[in-house]
Amino acid sequence: MTDTPTPWRHLSLDRVRRLPSWCVLAAGTLVGGLVGGAYGLLTPPTFTATSYVVAVPNAKSDPAPDSALGFAQAYGRVATQLAVLGDAQVWAGVPVRTLQRSVRTATSPDAPMVAVSATSARPGLAVDMANAVSRALTRHADNTSGNTQVRLVQFSRAVQPTEPTSASAGVTSLVGASAGGLLGGLALLAWPRKSGEDDDPVPAASVPGPAAAADVR
């Protein structure tokens, strides 16, 4: 049995095609805002704690600040390696994979300082991970200070954050609304238009007929 098209289907499709362009943009913005807001509400907030260590030259080393600055850059790169995180997991009480996923380091081009940041859904765990990695990094630097003539000193311990660092539901709603509006605009550009929907079609040029020849006598 063949499926014959019903009149209401053609009617609904015509109504959709006749909607103004701003309706598509408004619908995309609304849907994007709702999805972004739901994501912000359903995703648990995350907290970030940061501890700082500073590179200090030994008494017998070169007092030039460039030497300590260079070693601080090097220690910032090795802070998230397995050799350091293997010791830090004992004090943090989490597996190495959790530390690799949650801990990030940053260095400054002007100061011999290393910032160790840890992110977690629990503020206390973020503090423990940041301090554990800083402690492990300091111990590794002390073990090699005889060769490098530079040691790391705890500059500031991580404190428990009071506010989440993840985006709030309002921010995710704005981002979703912007993305939805952009997708709606792209859909309008890609939507095929019928020939009858063109604005003011240019009439075809008419060719005048041949003039009647005058009787030549």
Token pair listed for 183: 């997708």
Q: Is the pLDDT of residue 95 over 50?
A: yes
Strand partners, 117: 50, 104
Entry pTM: 0.62
Closest CA to 21 of 177, 200, 201, 186: 186
Residue 199 phi, psi dihedral angles, 5° rounding: -85, 125
Per-residue model confidence as pLDDT tens digits over 24-38:
667 777 777 677 667
Per-residue model confidence as pLDDT tens digits over 140-184:
988 888 888 888 999 999 998 888 775 566 666 677 777 777 777
